Amino acid sequence: MYDLRRTCASWLVQARTPIQEVARLLRHADVQVTMNVYAHLMPDQLRGTVEILDRHNLVIDQNDETRKMTLTR
């Protein structure tokens, strides 16, 4: 039964279903659990996000002092 659950969730993630919806369907209390298990199945989505940043000449810069991620143009 759990193999079918994982297969269904994997197919949904690969079909670009928002991870929040997959988490809700799986009844995960925290979406981070879903991300930890299924994020590796969505490299195209991550690539698309980086391309959006590239189109707008945005760079993610990490400030060593505060260790916070900031967007700079």
Is residue 51 over pLDDT 90?
Answer: no
Residue 36 and residue 47 share a domain: no
What distance in Å separates the CA atoms of residue 69 and residue 65, rounded to the nearest whole number? 11
**Same domain, yes or no: 47 and 72:** yes
Per the listing, tokens 């009844």 go with: 27
4 and 30: one domain? yes
CA distance 46 to 14: 12
Query: How many domains are there within the chain?
Result: 2
> Which structural domain range is residue 33 located in?
1-41
Residues 6+ apart with CB under 8 A from 12: 21, 22, 25
List pLDDT tens digits, range 3-49: 899 999 999 998 989 999 999 999 999 999 999 999 888 877 767 77
The whole-number pLDDT of residue 37 equals: 93
